[in-house]
């Protein structure tokens, strides 16, 4: 590339056609008459004459240089995986957004490798963020006015060699069916609030909430549990005495042949929750204090399961990093659509 500072003359504009502006040309109203990165043409003569700059800082591209907007667009297309949409560049930055509601997945290792390349800057929302359609996910920006074609090729190669989901994707939520069995005595008002809170979660994630059972003895509780397992993709046992090894629902599950995944989670609130599977259906035991909780381990488990992720021991163990669900972590848990936005977050 070739750089040049030239004294402005309206008669010389045609000679500068094809050059790229290295800085904004201030306009008479205060804003830029022509922005940094703009490629001059003869049609710019009127704007330049009106602005009357003292000098112009120009960049002439070689065959091996790729203009910042073109480079950002090509790299964004390489970065974007399923469920991600790219937008036209603005000041050499391409915005990436969610094409549908789902869970963001970021290949952090490839992202870091891309950001080691001179002139390449890519920033994303955190891995594991639940997002709605249209939400901004990332920006792909080229910091110099032009990028060497060699570096762009290397960046595109890294991005396309990432996992099948590329560097960034949005995993869609699945239309799963949820059933709940509540062993804790609740008033009619509390039942209504509990069901509204649970339905808002399940509906936002694209699922449906089947019947909610409130058994009043062990026999009906066992029947409700087995019926729920046969009818749902996920079962919630709400209000259980989760740390009691003799608790009746836990004993009934073990007797029925349930496989224990984990008892106790590295998350607060939710450290006493447990997870088992019965006939291939995940069952989450939620302690009494979690029935009406605004946010807990239950939210993280629901989001993961609806996005098609496995609720296995490795995932559960990994919840400890960021497992303290303070109000500032609202990005990890949606506002949902059932009035929860007015609750403390």
Q: For residue range 228-279, list pLDDT tens digits in order.
A: 999 999 999 998 766 777 778 888 899 999 999 999 999 998 898 999 999 9
What three-state secondary structure class fits 61? Answer: coil
Q: Which of 23, 19, 40, 42 is nearest to 32 (CA)?
A: 23
What pTM value is reported for the model?
A: 0.87
pLDDT of residue 10: 74
Domains of the chain by residue range: 2-60, 65-172, 177-342
Q: For residue range 271-290, list pLDDT tens digits in order.
A: 989 999 999 999 999 986 66
- The region that residue 251 occupies, defined by phi over 0 for left and psi between -120 and 50 for alpha, beta otherwise, is alpha
Q: For residue range 21-32, list pLDDT tens digits in order.
A: 888 898 887 788
- Cα–Cα distance, 163 to 221 (Å, whole number): 44
Q: What CATH architecture applies to the domain 2-60?
A: Alpha-Beta Complex (3.90)
Q: What CATH number does the domain located at 177-342 have?
A: 3.40.980
Q: For residue range 121-148, list pLDDT tens digits in order.
A: 999 999 999 999 999 999 999 999 999 9
Is residue 74 within 8 A of residue 151, CB to CB? The reply is no
- For the chain, the average pLDDT equals 90
For residues 109, 110, 115 and 116, what is the CA-based torsion angle, rounded to 10 degrees?
A: 80
pLDDT of residue 140: 98
- In this predicted structure, the answer to whether residue 343 has a pLDDT above a threshold of 90 is no
DSSP secondary structure code for residue 133 in this structure:
T
**How many Å is the Cα radius of gyration of the chain?**
28
Following DSSP, what letter does each residue of 260-323 receive, concatenated? Answer: EEEES-S-BS-TT-EEEEETTEEEEEEEGGGTT-SSSHHHHHHHHHHTT----HHHHHHTTTT-
pLDDT of residue 341: 45
- Mean pLDDT value of segment 315-330: 89
**Beta bridge pairs of residue 20:** 39, 59
DSSP secondary structure code for residue 342 in this structure:
G
Is residue 325 within 8 A of residue 332, CB to CB? The reply is yes
Q: For residue range 146-162, list pLDDT tens digits in order.
A: 999 999 999 999 999 98
- Cα–Cα distance, 238 to 179 (Å, whole number): 11
- Cα–Cα distance, 126 to 242 (Å, whole number): 32
- Mean pLDDT value of segment 47-58: 86
DSSP secondary structure code for residue 60 in this structure:
E
For the domain made up of 65-172, give the CATH fold.
Aldehyde Oxidoreductase; domain 3 (3.90.1170)
Give the residue with greater pLDDT, 48 vs 299. 299
């Amino acid at each position: 590339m070739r750089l040049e500072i030239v004294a402005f003359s309206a008669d010389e504009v045609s000679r500068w056609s094809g050059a790229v502006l290295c800085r904004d040309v201030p306009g008479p109203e205060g804003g830029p008459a022509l922005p940094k990165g703009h490629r001059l043409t003869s049609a710019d003569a009127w704007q330049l004459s009106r602005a009357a700059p003292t000098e112009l800082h120009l960049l002439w591209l070689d065959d091996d240089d790729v203009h910042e907007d073109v480079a950002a667009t090509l790299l964004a297309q390489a970065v974007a995986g399923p469920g991600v949409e790219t937008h036209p560049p603005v000041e050499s930055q391409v915005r990436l957004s969610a094409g549908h509601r789902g869970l963001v997945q970021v290949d952090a290792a490839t992202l870091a490798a891309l950001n080691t390349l001179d002139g390449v800057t890519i920033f994303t929302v955190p891995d594991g963020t639940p997002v709605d359609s249209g939400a901004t996910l990332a920006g792909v920006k080229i910091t110099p006015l032009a990028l060497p074609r060699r570096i762009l090729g290397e960046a595109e190669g890294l991005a396309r060699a990432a996992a099948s989901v590329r560097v960034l994707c949005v995993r869609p939520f699945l239309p799963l069916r949820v059933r709940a069995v509540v062993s804790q005595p609740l008033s009619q008002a509390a039942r209504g609030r509990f069901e509204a809170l649970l339905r808002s979660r399940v509906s936002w994630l694209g699922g449906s909430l089947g019947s909610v059972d409130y058994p009043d003895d062990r026999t009906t509780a066992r029947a409700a549990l087995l019926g729920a397992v046969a009818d749902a993709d996920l079962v919630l046992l709400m209000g259980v005495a989760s740390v009691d090894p003799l608790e009746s629902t836990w004993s009934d599950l073990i007797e029925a042949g349930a496989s224990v995944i984990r008892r106790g989670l590295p998350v607060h609130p939710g450290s006493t929750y447990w997870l088992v599977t019965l006939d291939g259906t995940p069952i989450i035991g939620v302690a009494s204090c979690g029935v009406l909780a605004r946010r807990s381990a239950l939210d993280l488990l629901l989001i993961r399961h609806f996005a098609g992720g496995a609720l296995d021991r490795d995932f559960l163990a990994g919840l400890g990093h960021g497992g303290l669900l303070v109000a500032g972590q609202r990005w990890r848990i949606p506002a949902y659509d059932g009035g929860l936005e007015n609750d403390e977050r």
